[in-house]
Structure 1
Amino acid sequence: MKALKLLDNAIVKIEEFILSYAVIIIAVMVVGKALSRAIFSYTPPFADEVSQIAIVIATFMGISYAARKGRHISMSAFYDLAPFKLRKALAILISLVTAVILFVLTYYSALYVQNVYQDGTVTSALQMPKYYLYLFIPIGFFLGGVQFLRNMWINIRDREAVYIGTDAKDYNDQDKKDIMEETHL
């Protein structure tokens, strides 16, 4: 069990590193391209590709991180109004269904990456194999599926609270004071 905890901590650190640097790269490329165009009337040909790669990486690698932290998008109007037991059951069911969907998407995106690899296509500016860009898609879907399974498991194991992420309890179960303290910087 300790080995799994170490692996989980390593994955969190890797996700945080990848996500933070992807966002920094997006900002540098977009601002740099605009400044270069305005000052020198020149746009580096690689700027769009690097930005695209960073956006794909941030998007798909962010699935797992958002699920872990309970920051994923949710339509929770009915969920928020439901009593505790129904919210608990919904948290388990939603996590299971989401994990299954993400694993199916992992399979199909891996097939797509394999097709791109076999085609041997490269990006136009960097001349980098395109499958490098797309490798992050099945990895992100897979890690997201694993994280939603973990969310389901923590909701099954802990009967006292509802978790929207392994690191986040449902805000419906928190006191108003706790919520206010978390929302202020």
Structure 2
Amino acid sequence: MNLLKGIDKIILKVEEFILSYAVIIIALMVVGKALSRAMFSYSPPFADEVSQIAIVVATFMGISYAARKGRHISMSAFYDLAPFKVRKVLSIFIPFITAIVLFTLTYFSSIYVQGVYESGRVTSALQMPAYILYIFIPIGFLLGGIQFLRNMWMNIKHKDEVYLGTDAKDYNNSNQKEIQEGTHL
């Protein structure tokens, strides 16, 4: 179990590193391109391509990080108003379905990346093999699917609390405890 926790910490640090630098690169490329165009009437041809690569990396590698931290997009109006037992069931069911969808997308995006690899396509400005850009898509889907399964497991394992992510308890948990203890207004 300690080995898995160690691997998880390494994955978290790698995700944080990748996401941090992807956002910095996006900012540098966009601002640098605007300044270069304004000051020198010249725009580096690689700036758009580097920005696009960084956006793809940040988007797909961010799936797992957002799921871990419970920061993924959710339609929570019904969920927030639901009683604890309904939220508990939803907190098991929704991550399970999401994981299945992400694993399915992993499969199909892997086939796509394989096709791009076999085609030998390269990017226009950097002349970099295009599959390197696209490889982050199935990796992000796979890590996201694993993370959603972990979220589901956290909710199965902890009967008295609802987890939005492995690192994030549902903010409604405190209200539920207050209601159970009779201290809620």
TM-score range, shorter chain: over 0.9
1:111-150 equivalences in 2 (<5 Å): 111-150=111-150
Q: Secondary structure at the match of 1:174?
A: helix
Tell me the amino acid that sits aligned with residue 80 of structure 1: D
Residue 9 (structure 2) pairs with residue 9 (structure 1) = yes
When normalised by structure 1's length, the TM-score is 0.94
Q: Secondary structure at the match of 1:38?
A: helix
Tell me which amino acid in the other structure corresponds to 2:47.
Answer: A
**RMSD of the alignment, in Å?**
0.6
**Alignment: residue pair count:** 175
Letter in 1 for 2:105: L
Structure 1 SS opposite 2:61 = helix
Question: Which residue of structure 2 lines up, in the alignment, with residue 178 of structure 1?
Answer: none
Amino acid at match of 1:112: Y
**Structure 1 residues 1-185: aligned runs within 5 Å:** 1-174=1-174
Q: Which residue of 2 aligns with 1:181?
A: none
Distance across 1 between alignment mates of 2:113 and 2:157 = 36
- Distance (whole Å) between structure 2 residues aligned to residue 174 and residue 107 of structure 1: 39
CA distance in 1, matches of 2:99, 2:52: 26
Q: CA deviation at 1:174?
A: 2.8
Give the alignment's TM-score, normalised by structure 2. 0.94
Residues 10-65 of structure 1, C-alpha deviations (whole Å, 9 max, x = no match):
00000000000000000000000000000000000000000000000000000000
Deviations along 1:108-133, one digit per CA (max 9) or x if unpaired, are 00000000001100001000000000
SS in structure 2 of the partner of residue 153 of structure 1: helix
SS of the residue aligned with 2:164? strand
Q: Report the residue type matching 1:45 in the other structure.
A: P
Residue segments in structure 2 that go unaligned for 5+ positions in a row = 176-185
Q: CA deviation at 1:172?
A: 1.0
Once residues 165 and 159 of structure 2 are traced to their aligned partners in structure 1, the CA distance between those partners, rounded to angstroms, is: 15
Show structure 1 runs of 4+ deviating over 3 A: none
Alpha-carbon distance between aligned partners in 2 of 1:26 and 1:115, rounded to the nearest angstrom: 27
Identical aligned residues as a percent: 75
> Aligned partners of 2:109, 2:170: CA distance in 1, in Å?
31
Tell me, which stretches of 5 or more residues in structure 1 are unaligned? 176-185
